[in-house]
Structure 1
């Protein structure tokens, strides 16, 4: 595919997303119908779509319309490139710009446009972060790095780096957590690498690693990951501590990959249904990584910030409180209840204390 053809594909996908379709679903549908597209083409179209969603409002301003075409015109202008170099109508590229499109568009001025946030979230960010709100919003406009967690039971960081290097993956330590590596090249090789297959590294954001590193456990503790999902936080703790591990999720299907991941990591995790929880209680530590807005992860899932509404945030905060109340009853006297989110919003964090 030519660069122009990739832009045209991104426009088609964005139109579906703006019409309410999930981005991943729309990208998958496009890829299935585009057998001519190679892996690099699919990756490039995906990158176009996700970057456009991170900067939806500002790109729409620059492009003069909140449509797939308008947003991609804005995206190209944001890179100080003339859209007419790609909008040629040749070899599956988008049709040339109309006279109206050549003159449409202006730099974003309103706060929501500048910060690429819904207006109500601009207020929420400022209430939560104060003078750091704009910096945080701008950070969410760029792609997140690929971060690995080294299983230090199997390899130290230097050994893991060398192991990855042999497979064409370059990585270096990052200060956020002592087990964290940032991948600088070869990220698409990770899932098929021996380092990943053998449990030496796991994909995990630095913030999640830092949160788990802050916890200490007495040897032999009984630990319940109450909202386990894929179990990444359990595995991060198990790499550093000897304990008895339990995992539960309200949707058990989310845990389907946990047993093989735990086996690769060299630990044993018992999966518990809702009916099993009380029978294994009490626990020395109960971890609640609760469902949340995910506002801290919008670099990876940018469409979520456009889908979130005040009513949904209220539903989430109510659910978080209910989870805490249920989980607290499972903690032994003198034990520890841990609450974590992927959110930066005060309503989901400080207001829970």
Structure 2
């Protein structure tokens, strides 16, 4: 396998370099199956960081990212599209008050959407985006400070947000037209010091916290946000403002960093506690009482970098099901950890070389491969997006 560097001119005077793993010399291999591409930008001073990736109907990809803006207190919204081989098509930098994009990409009625925020009113936005990375429509939602969104069926989604007026973590079910059908709000506690890490998360003057939400396979909704002074994992049926289960963290220094519902009360879990990181591919959680995240057993992940994103997914390879837990290592590589359906550790794959790499998101592709969106440093200075595509055959070889 040869590494080739291909140069493209974007704009008039800016030279952009895209590196890729070129397998075109092998006539039996589809170049869309496996590659690495790094995407530069004519906006040389922008540090672009990954938020999410999704696949389009023609097997290309949409990227959602953010970048630092000088004119507002929040990160700007960046969207780009590439074809099935990872070749750049188009990007969009939103320059208006549409800021702070959050994962995940939503698929509603066969169309792609994402959630962002108004920089002035702090209202959540639902944005429809086409396959060429153009925003088609923007609808306001009756919540503020959006934190995370996840599909809940074909026509609605789960939205996690924060109300600074009521000092509550808010979990909502929202339709494709932006209307809220159900909502619960959970108090974070009194005192400015409780709200401070939340606001710092939005302005990126502090740590990026692992806010997320979704629905378990048994129908219970969950939200990872502040409750009663602590970053906590909440379980609820959305019938009232009292969670049915709470897994408490340690203020903002400990808690759950990622979660994947498997069956019943069984979840894949990653957690952190004052700099230490732990992972458990199959853990049985207490979803109907009060417990602590430190009660969850897990293997110490000594190579994981602190405060980096942890992402999870499941996929079938051959006749076996696997759980994948991905994150960034201390030596700035992307690590993919594979577990079987009993929770036994099977293999690890490290992505990235030469330059530092950071994980953004992972997605199982239509050809049963993996798309891994991340970021890296171009010329040792500029944070840029990158896309790893792993083929099904590569993944099969890894877990055999």
Q: Report the TM-score, using the length of structure 1 for normalisation.
A: 0.30
Structure having the higher Rg: 1
Q: Report the TM-score, using the length of structure 2 for normalisation.
A: 0.27
Hey, which of these two has a bigger chunk of helix by percent? 1
Hey, which of these two has a bigger chunk of strand by percent? 2
